[in-house]
Amino acid sequence: MEEKFDVIVVGGGLAGITAALVCARAGLETVLFERGEYPGSKNLSGGVLFTPVINQLIPEFWNQAPIERPVTKKLFSFLSRERSLAFEFSSREFAKPPYNNSFTVLRAKFDKWYAEQAEAAGAFIINETVVDDVIRDGERVVGVKARRDEGEMYANLVIIAEGANAFLPLRMGLREPFGPDDMVTSAKEVWSLPAETIEERFNLEPGEGASIDYFGEGACMGLLGAGFVYTNKDTLSVGIGVNVGDVMRRRIPPNNILDWFKSHASIKQLLKGAKLEEFSAHLIPEYGYKKFFDRYGDGYLVVGDAAGFVNTSLYHEGTNYATASGLHAAETAIEAKEKGDFSKDTLKSYEKRLADSFVLQDLKRFREVSSFMHRHPEFLGKYPEEMIALAERYFTVSGEPKEKILKRAVRGFTSKLSLFKMTLDTYRLMLKVLGIHPTWFIFPPKK
Ligand SMILES: Cc1cc2nc3c(=O)[nH]c(=O)nc-3n(C[C@H](O)[C@H](O)[C@H](O)COP(=O)(O)OP(=O)(O)OC[C@H]3O[C@@H](n4cnc5c(N)ncnc54)[C@H](O)[C@@H]3O)c2cc1C
């Protein structure tokens, strides 16, 4: 009779490794398949890893893990072609453990280390092996078909953690094919610079880091998307993420958008003297809550990006949903093992765990982000453009009295924009994209 595991995990990213680590620690026989040379070798993230779950599983992991820098400074910058307007937030609190649970990382290093922790806990990791399909017995998933000799392997539970492409859920008939507007395509480069130059250029204390998100015409040529620069130890992660549908409609390849972004004076200055080390491209699911599909069934659970767990609001978070869903899948596996029942009926408690945690609560709150931004591209175009133009007029020094300059600045602004519409749109933006109900400022929420 063929060998049978308790759990097979497909994909060695943050979601899959978390699931494997927790299952193995609980004594479940766990095997993880990773198609790359090692976990992390195919993984790409702009760089900020959010770590509440990792810190819970490996307390003070930053003392041993290959993190780059804790993020103590966050900037949001609007770029027009020639000008920029930025908001900066920094906190000394974020420079103390647990460092606001936000670290820049290079995933090729971090995921490798994280997978070693799962291996040390007893998980069996098989690299360079693609899983092509699941094996079914009737409706029940009973194993996977891996692309290797004797590649059929059996388990009570298959945890699907294969990231954004989510081919297995498609093959299993769980989801429809993605449409272009469901995905973001991203292009990212890593540039090397001496650590001291990074600290000087970004005005950082030694060892601390910054994340900067860029919006507007100067960042993504007016397409729906954003640019980013994150500081690593002695490299910078520089990239853009743009809606695939918008890329197709405008017929602009993502690489051209990245070149455009890097040619902006603000970015050029940050990259001065830096050396290009690597380039990569990847997809990010942004279909969100409204298009979620069944994430559990007889013998299987779906976690992380494969389940569409990404928050594309201003937070730009996916790593914390990946680790949290991996944890909840593992907790469900442990419960199922104790009951000796891996049926849909038992595995549905995964859904309850997600609903009780920040995973589904956040993703529900921010469910309108993508459709809102599609309906209101002016938030990434016309509005920041006019804000920047207003700032330029406001700060212009001439021989004229200030009142005259200010009146002209406001006149220029109101001639281009309807204040009524902008106020209404901003109200909707706060509600749907920032997640803040504007009335909370008048009637503060009780809890
Ligand atoms: C450019 C970019 C920037 C980002 N920036 C941030 C950020 O700053 N902060 C943040 O929180 N999130 C960010 N994200 C999102 C974040 O990277 C993801 O949400 C997170 O990595 C999801 O983890 P995962 O384990 O679900 O999937 P992944 O990390 O994609 O891992 C999936 C793994 O499965 C493997 N695999 C796939 N198919 C198979 C198969 N058939 N068989 C075997 N193995 C397979 C892959 O090789 C990979 O190792 C960014 C994403 C991108 C692309």
3 state SS of 227: strand
Same domain for 245 and 138? no
Same domain, 166 and 187: no
pLDDT for residue 371: 85
313 lies in some domain: yes
Atom of ligand 1 nearest to the CA of 319: 11
Q: What pLDDT score was predicted for residue 283? A: 94
45 alpha carbon to ligand 1 midpoint, in Å?
7
| Confidence at residue 170, expressed as pLDDT on a 0 to 100 scale | 96
Residue 86 lies in a domain: no
Give me the domain span that covers residue 209. Answer: 180-285
Question: Cis ω on the peptide bond leading into residue 98 (within 30° of 0)?
Answer: yes
Alpha carbon nearest to ligand 1 atom 52, residue:
45
The token pair at 318 is 């996916």
Residue nearest to atom 14 of ligand 1 (CA): 45
Per-residue pLDDT reduced to its tens digit, 240-292: 999 999 999 999 999 999 999 999 999 999 999 999 999 999 999 998 888 89
How far, in Å, is the centroid of ligand 1 from the Cα of 443?
A: 40
Would you say the ipTM is above 0.90?
yes
Q: Indicate the Cα dihedral angle 260, 374, 49, 23, nearest 10°.
A: -140
* Inter-CA distances, 152 with 2, 28, 107, 163, Å: 9, 20, 29, 22
- Residues 35, 174, single domain; the answer is yes
pLDDT of residue 93: 96
Query: How far is 304 from 307, CA to CA, in rounded Å?
Result: 6
Ligand 1 neighbours, Cβ below 6 Å, are 10-16, 33-36, 39, 42-48, 50, 130-131, 161-164, 186, 188, 239, 241, 282, 284, 304-306, 310, 316-319, 322
Query: Residue 241 has what pLDDT?
Result: 95
Q: What is the pLDDT of residues 134-146, one digit of tens each?
A: 999 999 999 999 9
Q: How many domains does the chain have?
A: 3
Percent of the chain with pLDDT over 90: 76
Q: Is residue 79 part of a domain?
A: no
Specify whether the CB–CB gap between 47 and 357 falls below 8 A: no
**Protein residue whose Cα sits closest to atom 12 of ligand 1:** 318
Q: Which residues contact 330 (CB under 8 A, 6 or more apart)?
A: 18, 19, 20, 21, 22, 23, 26, 159
pLDDT reported for residue 43: 75
Is the same domain home to 145 and 197? no
- Mark which of 338, 366, 394 sits at the end of a domain: 366
For ligand 1, what atom is nearest to the CA of residue 305? Answer: 26
| Residue to mutate (ligand 1; options 114, 319, 323; most atoms within 8 A of CB) | 319
Ligand 1, atom 5, lies closest to the CA of 46
Shared domain for 263 and 390, answered yes or no, is: no
Dump the DSSP string for 34-101. Answer: -SSSSTTTT----SEEE-HHHHHHSTTGGGTS---EEEEEEEEEEE-SS-EEEEEEE-SGGGSTTGGG
Here the CATH number for the domain that contains residue 360 is 3.50.50.60
Same domain, 258 and 376: no
Torsion angle, alpha carbons of 423, 427, 428, 434, to 10: 130
* Residue 323, pLDDT score: 98
Residue 125 maps to a domain: yes
Residues 178-202 have pLDDT tens digits of 999 999 999 999 999 999 999 999 9
Is residue 78 included in any domain, yes or no?
no
* 118 and 160 in a common domain: yes
Can you tell me which atom of ligand 1 is nearest the CA of 167?
Answer: 41
Segments of the chain with pLDDT less than 50:
none
**22 shares its domain with 171:** yes
Looking at the structure, do residues 151 and 296 belong to the same domain, yes or no? yes
